Chains A and B, each alone.
Chain A
Amino acid sequence: MTGRAFTAIVTARLSAERRTVLYAAATAAVAGLALPREPVAPVFFSCAAAIVAALLQSPGRQAILDLCEESAPLFGRELARAKALAPCIVAAIATLAYCAPSIALRAPHALETVAIAMIAAPACALVALSASVREGAPRALYVALACTVAAGAYAIATAGASLSGELAFCALVAFVALRQYGEALARFDPV
C-alpha cells in the first residue's frame, strides 16, 4: 500500500464524517467547561467518542467509500491500518477539546488526565472497529470488550498509579485488535 493510498483513505473517511467530528469537538469543549476534578469523566468520554467514531466506519454509511475500498487492490491488513487511523484521530480531537478548558485554566492534573485519555481512546477505537464489521451479538460483544478495555486502562492508570502500565496494556490490546480487524476485513463479504 502506498502512502498516497493510506492518506487518501484517512482523509476521505475524516472528510465524510467532518460534521460528526465538529459536533463531537464542540460538545466535548462545552462539557469540558465543567472542569472535572477527577480523570474518570474525561477518560470515559474520550473512550465513548472513540467507540462511536469506530462504529461510524460500519459498512453502508459511506457507500461510495466502501465500494472503492472493497474493490481496490489492497490487503485487509493495509485497509485496516488506514481505516483505523480515522476514529483514533476523531477520539484525539474530542479528547483535546474536552480537556482544553482544564489545560487553559491550569486545572490540577489536567495534563495527566489528557495522557490517560489519549492512551486509552485509541485502544478502545481499535477494539470497537471489529464490531463495525459484525452484526448482532458479536457486535455487542466487541463494544462491551471496548468498554472493558477503557475500564482496565483507567484502573491501571489510577488505582495502579502507573501510566507506563496503562501504555503497555493499551499497546498490547491495540496490536491484537488491529490484527483482528485486518483479518475481519480480509474475510469480509459485502453482501
Chain B
Amino acid sequence: MPVLRMRDARFFARGAPVGPVTVDVAAGERVARAFPSARDAAITALMACGIVRAGAGSVLVEEYDPRVQGAHCKRVAGFVPHSPLAIDESEFERYVAYRAALWDVDPMRAIAHAKLLLERLDGVHEAFAYPIVGALIASPKLLVLDRPQSAYAGAILAAAGPRAVFSTHVNDDAAAAFAPARDDRTVVLQ
C-alpha cells in the first residue's frame, strides 16, 4: 500500500482552484513534483499531509482519509513548510520540547534525536534545518516538503533516511534535485 495516494485531488477555496493532482508515493520512495505556481505547490503539500482537505478527488495517507481522520494522517506525515523558522539557537531545545509534547515523544529522547539530525543537516542554515528536525523527531513514515531549497537536497534527503519523501517545487531543476534517481516521476502539472 502506498504511504500517500492522491487521485484527482483538487482544492477550490480562496482564489484559483488547485489541481487535479494525482500521485502515489510508496514506502521509502522519493517523489518530487513541479507545479505551475508557489500557491499550487504549497496547497498540494498541505493536502498531502492532511492539514488542508481536498475539495474533490481523494487523498489517502496510508489508509487514512484526511477529511475524517486528520489526526491519524498527521501522525503518519511530517510537514516542512517553505518559510524559514524564525527562532534562534537558544530557543531550539524549547521548540523541540514543544513539538515532542504535541506528538507525545519523550522530550529527552526528542532532544537527543534532534541534535543527531542537526549533525546530519550540517551546512544547512538553521532557519531551514530546524523545521526539518521538528518534523522528523516524531519519526513520520512520510516527509512532505513544501518547496525545499534545492541547494540543500543532499543533506535533507540524508536526514530523512529511508522514509518516503514527497516534495513540491515550482521548477523542474529543483524537483530533479530531490528525486535524482526517479526523474521520470518529475513532471510539470499544467
Query: Chain A interface (Cβ within 8 Å of chain B)?
Result: 2, 4-5, 7-9, 12, 63-64, 67-75, 186, 189-191
Contacts and interface: CB of A to CB of B under 8 A. Distances in A.
A63 B86 CA distance: 9
Contact of A191 (B43, B70, B71, B72): B43
Contacts of A4: 101, 104
A72 B103 contact: yes
5 contacts: A5-B102, A71-B49, A71-B135, A73-B102, A191-B52
Interface of B: 11, 13-14, 42-43, 46, 49, 51-53, 70-72, 74-75, 78-79, 81, 83, 85-87, 95, 97-99, 101-104, 134-135
Given A8-B101, A8-B102, A191-B43, A71 B74 contact: yes
Contact of B85 (A64, A71, A191): A64
Contacts, number: 63
A68 B104 CA distance: 13
B72 to A, nearest CB: 7
B51 to A, nearest CB: 5
Given A71-B51, A74-B71, A191 B46 contact: yes
Contacts of A72: 74, 99, 102-103
A75 B71 contact: yes
Given A189-B13, A191-B14, A70 B51 contact: yes
8 nearest CB pairs, A to B: A8-B101, A72-B102, A73-B75, A73-B74, A73-B71, A71-B79, A4-B101, A189-B52
Contact of A73 (B11, B83, B101, B103): B103
A2 B102 CA distance: 8
A190 B46 contact: yes
B40 to A, nearest CB: 11
Nearest to A12: B98
Contacts of B134: 68
